[in-house]
């Protein structure tokens, strides 16, 4: 004897939601399996003239190392990895500079671009990485570096102004000789170490510890540091009228300003 379960309003709603959701999950898992089975890679080599003063270099995902090189050309070498659908490296040379964008073309599976990039001295570098680590070495021009999910690391940056923005990851930069430095971090630790006295440092962190290490000496600093949920320690000479200004705000984490 078969007992029929009454089709109540609640069961109708559950079926209406559950069946399509189950089909979506099954389809997504199948698509992912196919994507991982259809992986490929190809080398990328770029050698582009930089007529203007700006280089825009962005990747959807991957690890990118950017350093300074001799000459007046952008030089990049690396490997692109993709699943099923070939990814794209789009380049454009204009009178104002160079733009290179490395884009994924498939919704799942593997996709990344691992690069070593050389930039001419003094260019304004606008660098963006959606997911992966970004490493900067010895750049002497303006730098704007953003990373959605990954660490930003650097050494020997001396441009007049540098800015870092991390959505989720650590920002660790040493050998800073820039006059104006700013950093914004959503979730991760921020450490800025200077070899030259900066005129202005601005750090905004939502979650994570912040450490600013200034050069040893008798320079007086105007320091404004607020840690909403954490400790604040300042170990540098201070003056409320100093032209050398350090501003640090941290939502959840400790602040240390020292030399």
Identify the pLDDT of residue 7.
55
Identify the pLDDT of residue 26.
40
Residue 76: Cβ-neighbour burial (10 angstroms; 0-12, 13-18, 19+): buried
Q: What is the DSSP letter of 122?
A: T
The token duo for 176 is 């800073």
In which residue ranges of the chain is pLDDT below 50? 13-15, 19, 21-37
Q: What is the model's pTM? A: 0.85
Identify the pLDDT of residue 16.
54
Q: What is the DSSP letter of 159?
A: S
The two beta strands, 97-103 and 124-129, are unpaired
The token duo for 136 is 């900067």
Q: What percent of the chain has pLDDT over 70?
A: 84
Tell me the domain boundaries of the chain: 11-132, 143-259
Produce one character per residue of 35-63: b if its CB has 16 or more CB atoms within 10 Å, e if not: beeeeeeeebebebebeeebbbbbbbbbb
Identify the pLDDT of residue 18.
52
Identify the pLDDT of residue 65.
98
Residues 6 or more apart whose Cβ sits within 8 Å of residue 226: 232, 248, 249, 250, 255
Instruction: Write out the DSSP string of 175-212.
Output: EE--SEEEEEESSS-EEEEESS--SEEEEEESSS-EEE
Nearest to 70 by CA among 140, 121, 125: 121
Identify the pLDDT of residue 58.
98
Identify the pLDDT of residue 39.
81
């Amino acid at each position: 004897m078969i007992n029929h379960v009454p089709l109540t309003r609640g069961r109708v709603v559950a079926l209406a939601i559950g069946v399509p959701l189950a089909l979506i999950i099954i389809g997504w898992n199948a698509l992912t399996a196919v994507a991982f089975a259809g992986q490929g890679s190809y080398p990328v080599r770029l050698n582009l003239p930089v007529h203007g003063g700006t280089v825009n270099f962005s990747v959807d995902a991957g690890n990118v190392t950017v350093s300074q090189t001799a000459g007046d050309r952008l030089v990049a070498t690396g490997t692109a990895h993709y699943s099923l659908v070939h990814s794209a490296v789009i380049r454009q040379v204009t009178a104002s500079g160079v733009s290179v964008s490395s884009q994924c073309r498939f919704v799942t599976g593997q996709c990344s671009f691992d690069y070593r990039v050389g930039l001419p001295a003094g260019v304004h570098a606008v660098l963006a990485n959606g997911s992966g680590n970004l490493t900067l070495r010895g750049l002497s021009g303006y730098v704007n570096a953003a990373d959605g999910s990954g660490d930003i690391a650097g050494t020997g940056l001396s441009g007049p102004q540098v800015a870092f923005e991390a959505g989720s990851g650590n920002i660790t930069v040493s050998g800073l000789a820039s006059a104006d430095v700013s950093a914004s971090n959503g979730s991760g630790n921020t450490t800025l170490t200077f070899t030259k006295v900066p005129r202005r440092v601005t750090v905004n962190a939502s979650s994570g510890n912040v450490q600013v290490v200034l050069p040893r000496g008798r320079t007086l600093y105007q320091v404004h540091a607020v840690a909403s949920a954490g400790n604040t320690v300042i170990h540098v000479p201070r003056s409320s009228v100093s032209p050398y200004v350090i501003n640090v705000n941290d939502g959840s984490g400790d602040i240390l300003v020292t030399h």
